Structure 1
Amino acid sequence: MNMTHPALLLPAHRLSVVVPMYNEVENAAPLIDAVQAALASYPQPWELIVVDDGSRDATAATLRRHARTVGDHIRVVQLARNFRQTAAMQAGIDAATGDVIVTMDGDLQNDPRDIPRLVQRLLTEDLDIVAGWRHQRQDGFWLRKLPSQLANRLIRRITGLPFHDLGCSLKAFRADVLREVRLYGEMHRFIPAWLSTVTSPARMAEEPVEHFARTHGTSKYGLSRTLRVLVDLLAVTFFQRFAARPGHFFGVIGLAVGGLGLGILGYLGVLKLLGESIGGRPLLSLGFFCVIGGLQFLTTGVLAELLIRIYYGARHGQPYVVRRGAGDGDGA
């Protein structure tokens, strides 16, 4: 597809739109039609990659059948089983050929007509990510909006990233930056936080986007994901601050716990010298286990440092990322 859009003046690029879907048979064909209509006059080449995440209904068959009627720029990737949204999104990113990658949900709650605006801002303002912000979210307040608001507030405070809606899947990325990170588990909610480990938060922005109420299918989200979000947030925070120096994280904890144990044992030692019996005191057990725990944290830090050196060694010894086009000569 390469048609002229009079409202868009964009640098030359190729756009890939990645959409993971799971049991969305009623939304499969309408999703393809909606993206096709939104990008029919897009001024640059584009493709749509729909990833069927091991659906148990006819989603995959419907996607393949409808894609053949629309054109070769619609590609369907079918996973062998349900690997969940993060893995499906990573599969789509791996299959994408574009310089710019846009991700979005397959439930038709995101508006594909917002895609050109996000891409335009990404390229004209020289950003690495523009995230959608569902400022008028069409979801239930108690089950979806309130937990999301609380989670986003917590994530903003801990990560330091000024995003109001990290849960919005509609995002535009520079492909070379996005491919510097790999998504595992359920980390699709924290892509901006992961990207902050390879690019500056100054090159990130968010843009208000439309949001529609779900009309077909059932939501795959619920309150059960709240605890998973907290666990994922802990992992993201660790990698943000200590990815290149895990020994500092475990070492500080080890010194604090071990120091507390030594202080307790020292205090009990003085009491013993003064003639008091300390053998039956619970404080003795606490001091002993604190010393052992401190040693374990310290040795864990040493092992983590060894592992991180092996990891960076596999990346040719570079604990950094050079921006393409930002260097001089052949090293750019």
Structure 2
Amino acid sequence: MKIPLLTQRQTSDQDLVSEITPDVSVVVPIYNEVESLPHLISAISQSLTESGLSYEIICVDDGSKDGSQELLRELTKTKQPYLRAILLRRNYGQTPAMAAGFNYALGKVVITMDGDLQNDPADIPLLVEKLNEGYDLVSGWRKNRQDAALKRLLPSKIANWLIARVTGVKLHDYGCSLKAYRAELVADLNLYGELHRFLPALAFIEGARITEMPVRHHKRQYGKSKYGLDRTFRVLMDLLTIFFLKKFLTRPMHVFGLFGLGCMGLGTIIGMYLTFVKFGLGQSIGNRPLLILAVLLLLAGVQLFSFGLLAELLMRTYHESQGRPIYRVREILDSARQA
């Protein structure tokens, strides 16, 4: 059964584009998954063929050293016409690999998933169906997750709770790579650092309509996990970045200026008190810690206020140099054209 597509194209030029544009682009970051790759590609192909969707599979090799690159070269040369391989020069990390896949994806819908066979390709058509209900992003929820309880599940539950509280996007499973995006949303997402974990939060900043649905999760069959407890610190740092972007992306002066004025105000009050003590009461203030505190607060206030001004200028440069508006239009309704 063919799932309805997201966009209707009407002109002859657009019809030509539609013929070469796949319905779905499946982006799979790969790092040392040579044993899983043939099974994964076969399973994705079978699932999407049975659903009636046209598709492409984009495997982004993130500097693998186990023969994954050689296998991808072989597969793209022989029997996999729908397969595209992007071989990165070295191991950059999952976020850059995912960004590369986004940049080369041609489909109307972009699916992301891990390359370790723990995500089930049979869920892809279901994600697309859910997306067609009017959402911009559908996130997978590994409701029955097949991972170690202490090493993976417990830290994940804590991280999901914390991320939901900070970002305001209520999802059960931020760490699930199996997600479906509208292509126009992907075009608005600029990835850097290790922000792939926070794609729903970044999409929320762009005004996306987000939901989640339960998906299947399998135990790892080949290789070993690339994740460890050391990622906790990186997640916390990235979470602070997301919090700042969500609150103050277009108005950084509101945070720097607020703290700056607060410091200058407190420093001024302490300075006025010390002035009264010096000249009103005739007491010495040279050896008082309050004097040092007042000076530090005034200097910090001036610096924070200056940072706010510089950040405002940087944000203006960021938006104007890219021609990037500070708003997103979902649709335009014109009664004259509809009449």
Band of TM-score, shorter chain:
over 0.9
Change in 2 beyond 3 A, CA 1:231/1:277: same
Deviation of 1:55 (Å): 0.8
Q: Which residue of 2 aligns with 1:326?
A: 332
Deviation of 1:69 (Å): 4.2
Q: Which residue of 2 aligns with 1:242?
A: 248
Deviation of 1:329 (Å): 9.2
1:82 maps to amino acid: N
1:101 aligns with 2:95: no
Distance 2:335 2:113 in 1: 37
TM-score scaled by structure 1?
Answer: 0.92
Q: Which residue of 1 aligns with 2:275?
A: 269
Q: Which residue of 1 aligns with 2:70?
A: 61
Distance 1:39 1:317 in 2: 35
Distance 2:332 2:56 in 1: 28
Q: Which runs of 5+ in 1 are unaligned?
A: none
Q: Deviations over 1:268-314 (max 9, x none)?
A: 22222212222112221121111101111101101111111112212
Within a 5 Å distance, the mapping from 1:158-177 to structure 2 comes to 158-177=166-185
User: In the alignment, which of 128, 132, 137 is matched to residue 140 of structure 2?
Assistant: 132
SS state at 1:196 partner: helix
Deviation of 1:147 (Å): 0.7
Task: Give the aligned CA root-mean-square deviation in angstroms.
Answer: 1.8
User: In the alignment, which of 174, 191, 206 is matched to residue 198 of structure 1?
Assistant: 206
Q: Which residue of 1 aligns with 2:33?
A: 24
Aligned length: 321
Deviation of 1:31 (Å): 1.5
1:255 aligns with 2:261: yes
* Greater displacement, 275-284 / 79-88: 275-284
SS state at 1:216 partner: coil
Q: Which residue of 1 aligns with 2:320?
A: 313
Change in 2 beyond 3 A, CA 1:329/1:244: farther
Change in 2 beyond 3 A, CA 1:184/1:317: closer
SS state at 1:41 partner: helix
TM-score scaled by structure 2?
Answer: 0.90
Contact 2:166/2:243, CA 8 A, preserved across alignment: yes
Q: Which runs of 5+ in 2 are unaligned?
A: 7-21
Distance 1:269 1:56 in 2: 69
Contact 1:265/1:284, CA 8 A, preserved across alignment: yes
Q: Deviations over 1:37-89 (max 9, x none)?
A: 22221212111100000112201111222344442101111001111000000
1:280 maps to amino acid: N
User: In the alignment, which of 189, 207, 232 is matched to residue 181 of structure 1?
Assistant: 189
SS state at 2:51 partner: coil
Distance 2:27 2:335 in 1: 34
1:81 aligns with 2:90: yes
Q: Which residue of 1 aligns with 2:9?
A: none
Q: Which residue of 1 aligns with 2:234?
A: 228
1:53 maps to amino acid: D
Distance 1:329 1:176 in 2: 25
1:133 maps to amino acid: W
1:44 aligns with 2:38: no
Deviation of 1:36 (Å): 1.7
Distance 2:336 2:272 in 1: 61
Distance 2:70 2:76 in 1: 10
Contact 1:29/1:63, CA 8 A, preserved across alignment: no
Distance 1:177 1:317 in 2: 14
